[in-house]
A and B are shown apart, each in its own frame.
Chain A
Amino acid sequence: MRKKTFAAAALLAAATLTLSACGNGKDDKSPVSVVSEESGSGKAATVLDQPFDKPDLVLTDTHGKKYDLRKETQGHPTLVYFGYTHCPDICPTTMSNIAVAKKALPKAEQDNLKVVFVTTDPGRDTPAELGKWLKGIDPQFIGLTGNFATIQAGARSLGISVEPTSKDKNGKLVSVHGTQVIAFSPKTNGGYVLYGEQATVDDYTKDLPKLVQGANP
């Protein structure tokens, strides 16, 4: 019963929330806070009762090669995140947290884990730019770029809202993208665990050994 309530809250949050690169709103009534409260109760992870299907994304990797997400990550524990390299705050922190946590895994499990960063700013994030940026975090991380509408649809299928970077009336840049990390099981290939931007390096270090087995954290 309790678990069901959590899952419902998480799904609501996932479906409606438009977190930016740089944080959540302060409104205590927002769905964002529902997830925050669960995290505050000691767990960064939200296990979903109804897992997401892995998005059917065929994009371009950092070597300029075609990358079929479903095919390439089939049977592998997989973490998917949508962000962009010109993001100063949450994107590098989230990817660095995962990178540091990953190093605590045995070598074989590190190699088996697929961490996929999908850019929400394909105009600036060319395969070369993405590759350079990810190399600075973890050379094993996979970076994908391509058509924005395709990426947006893929994100939307995971309940993650992304918008093209735009300019407001003062000519200042406005960026909107969800900051959730979705973990996909190596057993079912379903996206069954969700992390918000509050997840720390300790949270990932604690949970990755479970996630690589497809177990609940």
Chain B
Amino acid sequence: MTAVQVGRDAPHVRGRRALVVDDDEMVVALVRAGLEGEGVEVVTAADGREALDQLARSVPDVVVSDVNMPGMDGFALVSRLRAEPATRSVPLVFLTSRSHADDVLTGLALGADDYVRKPFELTELVARVVAKIHRPPVPVDTLVRDVRTGLLSASRLHEEIDHEAGRAARTGRPAAVAVLDVAERDQLVERFGARADDDLAVQVAQRVGVHLGSALDRVARDAAGRFLVLLPESGPDEVRTRLTRVAEALAGERLTVAGEGVQVTPVVGWASLDPHPGPGAAGPGAAELVERATVAADAATLHLDLQPVRWTPALAGTTPPAGRRARPSRAARLRTVLGRLRTAWQIALTLLLGVVVPFAVYVGLYELAGVDVSRPLYLVVVGALLLTAGAIWTEGFLALRATRPPEEPASPPPPASAVIAAYLPNEAATVVETVESFLRQDYPAGLQVVLAYNTPRPMAVEDTLAQLALRDPRLLPLRVEGSTSKAQNVNAALAHVTGEFVGVFDADHHPDAGSFLRAWRWLSHGYDVVQGHCVIRNGDASWVARTNAVEFESIYAVSHPGRARLHRFGIFGGSNGYWRTSLLRQVRMHGFMLTEDIDSSLRVVEEGGRIASDPGLVSRELAPTTLAALWNQRMRWAQGWFQVSRKHLLRAWRSPALSLRQKLGMTFLLGWREVYPWLSLQMFPLVAFMAWREGGADRLDWLVPVFVLTTLFTASVGPGQTLFARRLAVPEIRRQPGWFWRYLLVSSFVYTELKNVIGRVAQVKELMGEREWKVTPRATAPAAPTTPAVVATPTVTEASGAR
């Protein structure tokens, strides 16, 4: 843009990229036009959260951001930008309103490199932005204060500690340094994304200020997100009393993370500033004192009893040094590396079996026996792909005819029960909120809520649950001793269930208010089980969670009801399923099955039971937020499905209770599902063989109508599934069109094949007898020393639902 007339002397910026963040499209358009005139590529976002999504995709050369935006504002954005290693040095220019003069100071204190006040002259704005692309940014380490929490930076507090240590040595007055953390922080970040850390920080900082009776000038947050506190002029007894007060107050309060009520367990460690280091000796410096307090805090995580732990020389060596708490031992790291290598080797093996071996066989047959199997096989593969695509399209169309329960129940609603299965250390922060959401259910005939949990150690939240049960006799917290699986918890709960029917849930589920009444409308009309629609409620946590959110709509709003109509039976997906209690007592859940839910449904169907699938029976749950967690979850599901298929395919065909249509449905569900990941590869060895036979890929006629049509039809499945999902999704997910577009892209190019890879590797793992499940993502939580990093059986939360 000559408009901006900075071009003549401006540094060359053509091809550089700017991220423009503003909720006002008029401003965005103006800034975009100005920068594009200079040859700068522009991407835009309407608020801080969208900007973080853009930043996760690629890091721009400069960010231009408004301050005042709904959702995540510019201050929160710059805080996050400066906290992440990948973006901490990206220059940021704030657009600040003339009406809010303080914004300038705040913005600069938080790490902005420059500001331009609105209204602005476009030429000036563009000149400043262009200049920033070439200038080094404000070094983040010089920032003094985090404005969101009002806390000092760690480096600034270190200076204060050194200063105080000198004074303590001169005056002989005692002082201390404390490190405060929240035991559940890693789990909450894992579930709700990085904003959980911000939400926690703001609330914990506020309460530390109130309950410690200390000015925030003496509280900081370190790079790992822990709170560092300097307590000047305080002897050991006073320090202990004040820190205990903070810990107890924090543990007793309900905090809000990502809009959800959570309870946390503070862990506190502290170290005294030695006022008498001895003649000629220097006391420990700030870094050493913080290190000591961190070691003590690590020791506190082993107890989780709210008691602050004081550093003593005896503690050194008993816990991992500071900053390494979450780091596994060398042996564990070696196991992890070997595990990854093993999986990589298994992926290679599946490619060898699925591509190289067939190719070699075709070549061998052609060379040695003169047999060309490519033509019939080509037709078989084409037919298989068309069949699969056709089945998926059929499911979609069948799902369009909404499945609703009968309008009125056949009999008045009877007493009902909810069984919530939980592995407590993973659920400690949110389980009270979950239980309360069940107690709020609108069910006229009385709803019993059984929380069936296992835990390797006593947890503070058990006391809270016991108190809740005293106040509300509908709640029964049931600790299942010796349990290692969801199946054991559910089976144990059945001994206490008083309802005529029972809803089975994982501990992250929040069912809609009228769910139990709706479920009864099915069960009272002769159904034995009804499976509801699981909706993801933390889709904004990460792109993995968003992908999951759309995928779940595709599964629960499209595939399940469509399949139930096509095959004439539904399946229980592990959670948000309602059973007649008498039936569940007979069927039980088998803990030796990896997907005990699918196994139990198939046993019901094989005995002639009826399972309905109701997309209107909604419960909201949490998705994995990282790719590693998703991989582990899906690998477990895939291996579980393979196990179930091997057990049930023949049984289904032998079952006298199943119709031919149902048997064909079982074959598709169990047999085809396992064969398809291999079939999806078969075009590669076939085409490779034909290219070899013809003497080069360029001699193949790629425009064979069958090939073109098959490709087009199979390629239409992804968009088709996405369209059906969008059409049938619950309103809150449908309101996110961007999520569907991204899902379409991700699933078309990566995700579908990723699931095929998982499907193939899972079979290899199952056949090799590999049953070691990582307890990720929640293994990063502080664990008792006896808790193994790898366990031989799936935990409750991990084995839930094979979908």
Q: A and B: real partners?
A: no
- Enumerate chain A interface residues (CB-CB to B < 8 A): none
